[in-house]
Structures are given as C-alpha cells and as structure tokens.
Structure 1
Amino acid sequence: ADAVGVLGTGDRCAIGEVPGFKKPSALGHGGEAISVSVGSSRVLVLTGRTHLYEGHGTAPVVHGVRTAAALGCRVAVLTNGAGVLREDWTIGEPVMISDHINLTGHSPMTGDNPPAPFAGRFVDLTDAYSKRLRAIARGASPMNEGVYLGLHGPHYETPAEIRAGRSWGADLVGMSTVLEVIAARHVGLEVLALSLPTNLAAGISPTPLSGEEVIAVGKRSAARAGEVLRSVLSAIDAAGHAG
C-alpha cells in the first residue's frame, strides 16, 4: 500500500464498505479503493486484496478485477510480494511475471456458465500476461521476468515443493494473483503483473520464513516499487490501449 503514494492523491473509500468486497485481512494490505490520474488515464487503485486462504471462496478473491472491468477499466496491473527461487535475483527489486503455474486447486470459472454477454468458462490463457504490456514495461523500467507459482497457502511451501517448482520452470512463488489473472482475462482485461521478491523460498533461504520478514522487506522497498509502478503506468498511458 505504501508504494501507491507516488501516484498522488485522489478520491478514496474503504473497500470493506463497497458491496461484494471483503475487508483485506492479510498482513501489510491496505483497505482502500483510490481513484487517481496518471497522464490522461484514470486509474483505480485497490490497496489490498482478499486471498483464497482467508476462506471466503474464489468470488471475493476476483471481485476486484471484475468490478474494475465493470467500471470501464481495460488494463489490469496486478502486484504482489513473492518468494524467489532464483538466487541471482535481488530481494526487493521488482520483477515482471511472464506466465504462471496455478497449483491453488481452484479456478474462478468453476460453476455455471457466466451469463451473456460474458464469454464461457473455458478461458484461453495462452497470452495471459500481455506481451504488449510487458514490452512497454520493459522499456519503462528494465527488469527480470519469470514464471510465478501460485499456491493456496497460508502456510509457506516446503523445500520439496520448491524443488518441484524449480523443475517446472518456476522463478517466483506466492499465494495470490493467479485467480485474478484468470478472471481478468475472462472479462477482457489486458494484464500486466509485477512482483516484489521479498525472500528466498523454502530450502533456499538459510533462515526460517516469516510474515514479518516479508512485511519488513516490503516497507524497505516501497519507494523503489512505487517508482517502478509509476514509470510503468505512465508508459502504458503514453502508449494507449490495445485495439
């Protein structure tokens, strides 16, 4: 949430007061929806998210991106903090997600077919993370790119799970984002996702994992993350929308 300050001030409200939203309960997550301007674009900023591990099911997890699409948003820029499986990457330096592996065991498309005019349940994820947006972001702020492994949580992963993830090509691991990306693509949003590596993953880190460590790294890296976010959003605004 602290990194959002670089985008300026705007109209805001508490997320928990908006129908359909749950008040974020995860450590380090804010609870506001803020409307700001970036260049000629209006940007809806949600400073916190609902995680699958909070036990409310998938609908509240993806309510934010669905609401954004209903309000007229055409691009979703998702952010997260993540464990990193790459020892050559710098903790606290933002990276870009190029693809994901969904091991949450869930999908926001489970259930009845969505009503018209929405597309059916079978969402194509071939280009889930927009190549166009990644190229724009790369030009605005060069950064590493990698594959995000999404797990259910809230417990941290085991070293064996991390070894398996490495063998599948994962570079990052976390407990969010993948369901939101699926829902965003279903409603036609173009997606970019940025991740802040907050710790080495289990079995790679020489110390036990803790939420406190994640929060501390996030706070130390807030200024840098905000700088990257502002640069990327400004570049997307300057480039215009797809189509």
Structure 2
Amino acid sequence: MAMLEGERVAALAAALAERLGPPPAVAVVLGSGWAEQAAGLLAAPTALPLAELLDWPLPRVPGHRPEILVGDLDGVRAALCGGRVHAYEGRPARELVRGVRALVRWGAPAVLLLNAAGSLREDRPPGSLMPFADHLDLGLPSPLAADQSEDGAPLFLDLVDLYDPAWRRALLAAEPGLRPGIYAGLPGPNYETPAEVRMLAALGADAVGMSTIPEAVAARAAGARVLAISLLSNPAAGIGGSRPSHEEVLATAEAHGAEAARVLAAAVAAAPRG
C-alpha cells in the first residue's frame, strides 16, 4: 500500500531527529548560488547527504547542494538545506515542499527561504538583496491541493502576513540598507519575455523567480513563521538589453557572496524566539 504524504513527512522528520539530534531554531533553504555563500557560517557542523534520506527529493540544478548542515550560527542552532527541487523539473507540489514540511515536523519553528531572482526594477541592480514583503503567485503549483497535501492540513489558508512582519522588521533593524519588495513566482524553466517583464512590473512586482512560494505556503500551513530573501542576480529580460542566463545567476552569487552570507547570518539572528 502506498504511503500517504503525511507518513512520508513524518518518517523524514524522525530520520532528521535520529541523524541530526535536536531540531534547529531556524531551518534555512538555500537557493541557487546560496550554498557556496553559506559555507563556513556554521561552527562544527554535522552534514547529512540528502541521498541518505528515503523519499527526500534531490536537488539537481547547478548551484544547489544535496545535503543538510546543522550547527551553531552565532549562538543559534540552524539547519541549512543546500538546495531545493522545482516545478520545472517535473516535480509535483508535494515534492517541492516535502523537505520544508519535514523540517517543520522535526521541530523547526522558523523557516528562512532563500533564492536567486531577476530584478524587475532598474533601481534594484544585480547583487541587491530583497526580503519578501509579499508575493504574486502566477502559476506555481499549490501544496494545499487535496492530492498534494498532508492529512489534516488546511485546504483554505489565510496568507495575510505570510512573510513574518516582526521577523522582517528585526532583520531591517540589523541591515537597514535592505529594501523589501514583491516577488512574482512563475513556473519556468524558460525565462520571462520582455513583455511579461513589463506586465509584472506594472502589477507591482519587484523581482521574478521560479520557486519559494510553495515552500512558504507549506511552512505557514504547518505552523512555522516564514521569511524569504531574494538575491537579485540579473536584470530581467529586456531591462537594459538583458538576456538572462543561469551562468549569470551563479556568477552574481559568487561576486556578492560576502554580503549574502552576512545577510543570511543576520536573518537567522533576527528570527523570532518562541
């Protein structure tokens, strides 16, 4: 008999507890290019390859690492998940969020989601870091659909203040140069057309990407507090003649690694307690 999704999540959470011990105060999902920047942030980390966890979908996109690191980050116990899977890889919603659900079921009360995104604004150049104020979901699959969800999870979910305002304020107090913005999520894998970029900007979006929103919704449904941050890695198509590429995304992440690592650490330190 096939396992229910809730059973898979529970089994993964139990495996995390067995292999890695007590749950973290903050679980972090690292997007494209972020894994390199996070290297060295944890003191005496314990590493767990994701391939050793049954039913954990393995990230395969360049710039993601298939492992979890757990350790102390400036006095806060944190778990850094080296990557994610995406809808454009042919994954259903339940697989996009299974890892986040397992991290919260393990006991993580706060989830920090990181990604690389295209900038829709000329005043947000590559290398800028943008905490989410809100999002526009324009076609990413919902993890709350009945055939994708855990048993007992809500079907209808209030997403007001999905990205925790108190956590964001605490981060901005530590990093006042950050500017929150609106993230637009599209399924990919093709980049947006210049016409779509103009439409997204007219709708009020500041950045565009292909991930993160399903994980944020699933974490909220599971009871966790959520913060998300984009590293703006390239101008979106048509802005200044831009023709985006994944190579540019990774090069920008490498060039701005020190700032990204500092903001990651500040976000973990700013996470709500209790």
TM range (shorter): over 0.9
Q: Is the 8 A contact 1:93 1:225 kept in 2?
A: no
Whole-angstrom CA distance in 1 between matches of 2:182 and 2:135: 5
Stretches of structure 1 that go unaligned for 5 or more consecutive residues are: none
Of residues 89, 97, 101, the one that matches 1:54 is 89
Q: Which amino acid aligns with 2:173?
A: G
Q: Note the 1:173-212 alignment, pairs <5 A.
A: 173-212=208-247
CA distances 1:40-96 after superposition (whole Å, capped 9, x unpaired): 432111011111111021111101210111110000011000000110113112121
Q: Note the 1:113-152 alignment, pairs <5 A.
A: 114-116=150-152, 119-142=153-176, 143-152=178-187
Whole-angstrom CA distance in 2 between matches of 1:218 and 1:38: 21
1:241 aligned partner: 273
Whole-angstrom CA distance in 2 between matches of 1:86 and 1:35: 36
Q: Secondary structure at the match of 1:194?
A: strand
Q: Secondary structure at the match of 2:181?
A: strand
CA-CA distance at 1:227 after TM superposition: 1.0
Of residues 178, 181, 203, the one that matches 1:168 is 203
Whole-angstrom CA distance in 1 between matches of 2:216 and 2:200: 20
Larger displacement relative to structure 2 (16-25 or 177-186): 16-25
**Relative to 1, partners in 2 of residues 1:78 and 1:105: Cα closer, same or farther, differing over 3 Å?**
closer
2:20 aligned partner: none
Higher relative contact order (CA 8 A, sep 6+): 1
CA-CA distance at 1:189 after TM superposition: 0.8
Q: Secondary structure at the match of 1:195?
A: strand
Scaled by the length of structure 2, the TM-score of the pair is 0.82
Q: Which amino acid aligns with 1:140?
A: A
Stretches of structure 2 that go unaligned for 5 or more consecutive residues are: 1-34
Whole-angstrom CA distance in 1 between matches of 2:221 and 2:270: 25
Matched, 1:32 2:32: no
Larger displacement relative to structure 2 (122-131 or 10-19): 10-19
Whole-angstrom CA distance in 2 between matches of 1:220 and 1:177: 23
Aligned length: 237
Structure 1 segments, 4+ long, off by >2 Å, are 38-41, 112-116
RMSD: 1.5
Q: Is the 8 A contact 2:109 2:223 kept in 1?
A: yes
Q: Note the 1:39-78 alignment, pairs <5 A.
A: 39-78=74-113
Q: Note the 1:219-238 alignment, pairs <5 A.
A: 219-236=254-271
Q: Secondary structure at the match of 2:39?
A: helix
CA distances 1:85-108 after superposition (whole Å, capped 9, x unpaired): 110113112121110011124201
1:7 aligned partner: 41
Q: Secondary structure at the match of 2:72?
A: strand
Whole-angstrom CA distance in 2 between matches of 1:114 and 1:228: 33
Q: Secondary structure at the match of 1:214?
A: helix
Whole-angstrom CA distance in 2 between matches of 1:83 and 1:44: 26
CA-CA distance at 1:33 after TM superposition: 0.5
